[in-house]
Structure 1
Amino acid sequence: MDRKTLFRIEMKKYLLFLFTLFGCSVGFAQSFEGTWQGSLTIQGMELPLVFNLKYDGGWTGNMQSPKQSNAKMPISKIKASADSIYITVDPIGLSYAGKLSADKSFIDGQIKQGGLNAPMKMVRQTASNAVKSIELVRTQTVNAPYPYDALNVNFENTVDKVTLSGTLTSPKEKGRYPAVILISGSGPSDRNSSFYGHEPFKVLADYLTRQGIVVLRYDDRGIGESTGDYKLATTGDLSKDALAGLKYLRKQANVDPKKVGIIGHSEGGLISLLLAGQRVAGLDFIVSLAGPALKIDSLMILQNEAVAKSVNQKVSQQEIQRIKRNYKIAKSDMSTEKAFAEIMANLKDIPGSQTPEFADQIGVLITPWYRYFLKIDPVPFIRKIKIPVYAAFGGKDIQVTAPENAESLTDNLPKNSKSVIKIYPEDNHLFQPAKTGAVAEYPEIPVTLDPTLLSDISNWIKKL
């Protein structure tokens, strides 16, 4: 219908149409108001999420993860239209899109964060079904006032035009000190690398700074106060962010220009190995915490087997071959659409694998980050490292298994009297003293970082 025709609509009829539309929208808005809760299962661990939604001419709300923290995070955007709702929590890169059931008793939708793309049904929270917040016992909390200087800073990745926001901690006394930049593991992380009420990077920075080491930690791109889009970032992009931080750190007046290094965890440890192997200027040493030292597709096979074992399951040889085929497809130069179709075809024998819900979960395999990540082989880089390396692995780590990765470093890292490769027998992937190393234990452990590890890293850096 053209514009002239629209203007000829009778005013009474037009106003009635607007009133009906407005009344429908308000009705559904009222239906979405309230407290909703859903649950995800990640590597055998149940993770409840709670959304509190309020409409008063405009939407406001907050989100809580009761088993992780008592904190309520403000929701960045809520958009409700008819029976559909879209929610984003920008600081952690999370979004939820759902549709209200006909009887308005539940919302059926999809939740996304980083590589996660999974179905999540939400029901109204009542006194009887409410998930209770856990009592988080954390033995290494760090609170102000600090016996050192802590400044909020910004630095630029000029290549990608990204501004990284972080915290620089330094000894108060004048002088030149060793300095490190902290690089987080895979998945969107804030500057403290927060998880389940723990803040490992804040604990690490606090310990090292008290020992006379300058520390820079920062929000990943697109997370917290940093600009950019984490969802589109590959390991290569995150490496450029780390290089920008390294450059910024070297410019500080209280930093010893001959003792500037990287401490990276998991993917961050991998990045430290790759940059050291490229012999980038201004990098004097690295500390790799559970950093992969094997071809990533091989590492992921080991991870699949270890994670399955941790929940009393076993991956059959047939399943391993299917996983390898998926990785081969994801690593190829096929278009995203072609790769997705090939992976779905490879999974056709699995009951229920051709549903939209299953397809959404498989989508992580064709994200830019995952396809780039699977292609990485750190071994050629490790063989070219000339600077000192401190490599630590958790003996109960099921994500970056210690025996195979430590052996790869032992075999391929050039000899250096200052380098150390050490396994902490009782530690999990996060370097918490653990019973089994299973992911489900992470929130239950009160220790954030193994105190022996903290002491070892600090002493090693100071002796360089």
Structure 2
Amino acid sequence: MPDNKAGNRLIKTGMLAIAALMLLSTPLLAQHKSHEVRITTPDPSVTLAGTLLVPEGAEGGTVMLMITGSGDHPRDAIISGAPLFRLQAEALASAGIATLRLDDRGTAESTGPTTRESTTADRVVDMRAALDWLRDGHIATFSQVGVIGHSEGAGIAARLAAQDSPPDLVILLGAPALQGKTVWVDQQVAGFRQGVGIEDPEVLAQVEAHMREAARLSIEGASADDMRENTVALFALGNIDVSTEENAHMLAGFTGRMTDDWMRHFLADNPSEALAETRVPTLAIYGSHDRLTSAALNAGPLTAALLSAGNQDFTVRILPEQDHFFLRAPGKPVGQHVFGEMELSGELMEEIIAWLSRRQ
């Protein structure tokens, strides 16, 4: 006899997948209110501007604060022409979940120094102010206030979860779970392999050694001049002579980036310390083809850290055929971005909505 329960499960799973895809491809089905907000922070120069999206009937329910990754992002977090956070917020609104998305400090309508002129610790302070603002019920009152962080934003979300009065729920997308220098070196070697097209293990080992030295020098406060010799040798491995006038800007750009405050802080910082104190319900999702915070490098340490925290409610998922941004151009390989053609993963939103729905 056929297994009716198994068949019903398959039908239900298929319906959920179709529903998630519909959320991303059709207008919002539920009426909702979009509020333009301004949030002050402990830094008098920083006021955060954003959009609070509240679906009909969502007041009194769950609201998710959305935290962008590294870089100076507007509230929609535009990636390859796709408004990553707006798409996520609209999908969540269709499921009756409110969201707050914000322009990063010093970007678009938010004031103050930019994220590149600040550090991750500064952004934690900003997001703490936003979390408190939501809990104070300025526009709407919610029973649960959670956070969704992407990439660096996931690290910020973990830090909020490790503080007093943590968010009620935490969703981490492409979360780093090791010291910044380890994640950065992994990113750079992957980028070198892909961008320069070199697969020779001996050459890649030399690239990794020079990247590690660059990270060490940055953390220890070395000047751009101190980094010159190592940087010249690094670029030479890619057959780029940065001593020439034509390529001199590449040398200046790399050493300049390695000596700014954000990079020094990022390389020295270790989000696993915050994860090891995260005890609130947590969902972590990685893309199988993520080359920026790879699941192979980060998922294991993240799981170990949450276990050491004694977290009783966490889920880790690796979504197949997805990159760091959970975006894909139709008909293109995973990770190949085409400006203006990127579509958000329906599977990602299905996972998030199902997880949140079980915790309403």
Q: Give TM-score, length-normalised by structure 2.
A: 0.82
- Alignment of 1:200 with 2:92, yes or no, is no
1:273 to 158, 169, 184: 158
Q: What is the CA–CA distance in structure 1 between the aligned matches of 2:170 and 2:194, rounded to whole Å?
A: 31
Q: 2:249 aligns with which of 351, 357, 377?
A: 357
Cα deviation for residue 449 of structure 1 reads: 1.8
Q: Which residue of 134, 137, 144 corresponds with 1:249? A: 134
Q: Which moved more, 1:247-256 or 1:211-220?
A: 247-256
Aligned pairs for 1:29-428 within 5 A? 140=24, 147-173=31-57, 175-230=59-114, 231-252=116-137, 254-257=140-143, 259-277=144-162, 279-311=163-195, 312-314=197-199, 316-332=204-220, 334=221, 338-349=222-233, 350=236, 352-354=241-243, 356-362=248-254, 363-414=256-307, 415-428=310-323
Alpha-carbon distance in structure 2 between the residues aligned to 1:198 and 1:451? 14
Distance in 2, matches of 1:436 and 1:309, equals: 17
SS at the partner of 1:347? helix
SS at match of 1:150: strand
Shift of 1:432: 2.0
Q: What is the one-letter code of the residue matched to 2:101?
A: R
2:121 is paired with a residue whose SS is: helix
Report the Cα distance in structure 1 between the residues aligned to 2:27 and 2:107, rounded to whole angstroms.
22
The Cα shift of 1:280 comes to 3.3
Report how far residue 344 of structure 1 moved: 0.6
RMSD: 2.4
Change (3 A) 1:160 1:419: farther
Matched residues in 1 for 2:51 and 2:326: separation? 23
TM superposition shift of 1:207:
1.2
**Whole-angstrom CA distance in 2 between matches of 1:289 and 1:300:** 17
Q: 2:14 corresponds to which residue?
A: none
Q: Which amino acid counterpart does residue 426 of structure 1 have in structure 2? A: E
Q: Which moved more, 1:386-395 or 1:316-325?
A: 316-325
Per the alignment, residue 65 of structure 1 pairs with none
Please list the CA deviations of residues 261-310 of structure 1 after superposition, one character each: whole Å capped at 9, or x if unmatched.
Answer: 11011110111112223x33141121000011111111112112322333
SS in 1 for 2:344: coil
Residue aligned with 2:343, SS: coil
Q: How far apart, CA to CA, are the structure 2 residues paired with 1:239 and 1:437?
A: 31
- Matched residue, 2:351: 456
Note if contact 2:171-2:282 (Cα within 8 Å) is conserved in structure 1.
yes
Query: Are the structure 2 counterparts of residues 197 and 318 from structure 1 closer, same or farther at C-alpha, using a change threshold of 3 Å?
Result: closer
Tell me: CA distance 1:401–1:457, structure 2 relative to 1, closer, same or farther (3 Å). Answer: same
Kept in 1, the 8 Å contact 2:76–2:83? The answer is yes
Structure 1 194/141 Cα, relative in aligned 2: closer, same or farther at 3 Å? farther
Q: Which runs of 5+ in 1 are unaligned?
A: 1-138
Structure with greater Cα Rg = 1
Separation in structure 1 between the aligned mates of residue 232 and residue 101 of structure 2, nearest angstrom: 44
AA aligned opposite 2:104: D
SS at match of 1:301: helix
Instruction: Output the CA distance in 2 between the equivalents of 1:347 and 1:340.
Output: 10
Distance 2:25 2:358 in 1: 27
Identity of counterpart residues, as a percentage? 27
**Secondary structure in 2 matching 1:442:** coil
8 A Cα contact 1:344 1:353, kept in partner: no
Counterpart code for 2:153: G
Matched residues in 2 for 1:330 and 1:316: separation? 21
SS in 1 for 2:40: strand
Structure (1/2) with the larger strand percentage: 1
